[in-house]
Amino acid sequence: MRRSLGHRVASLVLPLKCLGCGQESDWLCRECAGSLRPPREDSCLLCRRYSPEGRGICPSCSRKTALRGIVSPLAIKEPHLRELIHHIKYAGRIDAIRFCAVWLGRWSLERLPKSFTLVPVPLSRARQIQRGFNQAELYAKAISGAQTPLKRYLVRTRETAPQVSLSRQDRSANVKNCFSSREKIPSEEVIVLVDDVVTTGSTLREAARALRAAGAKQIWALTIAHG
């Protein structure tokens, strides 16, 4: 938490340099940010197959994950974006979350249903204490407007290992049944799960499963990056 606070204070007094070209700017200058391209809207972000309805997910992956669509503006393979995510998750630079929300928010919101509730994916208790914040919740707060409700429906039922170090198969087993919902969800409420990165979709699948068990019928996902 101290390190996080120190970075926040430093960001107020020290000028930022663009992660791409190094010039004094924001986290990414306009030119470097403009060089990053959003995904094809007819491609599934999980399996890369054709997605005929243009919702970022193919029918097969939609059935497996219980997600109606996935909105994720950029690929994590982009080096500047990968470094930006690293600053958020591991260096405590939560000011970068606000930058991502302003930079990517409009593109993302235009591809979501008109009315929805944002539900951040919760961290494990150990990682929440270690970091001092949940990046998914901060991103959800930053991207939501006054008319967009944010609810903490989900809780973690057990500790899990970090997904980044695991294989696809191990990721699925690691998060299996690790979420539950705090309360019943009205069936007409459209839920948008928020996380920082989606790769295999295992975490979002388990979160969606818990929300479905609580009554949710239409669930989308929103992340900063995919890959």
Q: How is the chain split into domains, by residue range? A: 2-226
Smallest CA-to-CA distance from 40 within 52, 62, 56, 61 is with 56
pLDDT at 63 over 80: yes
51: left (phi over 0), alpha (psi -120 to 50) or beta: beta
Q: Are 196 and 162 in contact (CB under 8 A)?
A: no
pTM: 0.88
Strand 24-25 vs strand 16-17: parallel, antiparallel, or unpaired?
antiparallel
Where would I find the H helices in the chain? 2-13, 30-34, 59-65, 79-91, 95-109, 125-131, 135-143, 168-175, 202-213
Write phi, then psi, for 166 (nearest 5 degrees).
-110, 155
Query: What tokens appear for 73 in the block?
Result: 């503006």
pLDDT for res 15? 59
Section 49-78 average pLDDT? 93
What amino acid occupies position 17?
Answer: K
d(CA 27, CA 84) in angstroms, rounded, equals 7
> Across 32-80, where does the E strand assignment appear?
69-71, 74-75
Residues β-bridged to residue 225: 74, 197
pLDDT at 1 over 50: no
Section 220-225 average pLDDT? 96
Section 167-177 average pLDDT? 81
Q: Are 28 and 19 in contact (CB under 8 A)?
A: yes
Smallest CA-to-CA distance from 160 within 195, 191, 206 is with 206
Tens of pLDDT along 129-152?
A: 888 899 999 999 998 876 789 999
Query: What tokens appear for 134 in the block?
Result: 């949940």
Considering only residues 27 and 160, tell me which one the structure prediction assigns the higher pLDDT.
Answer: 27
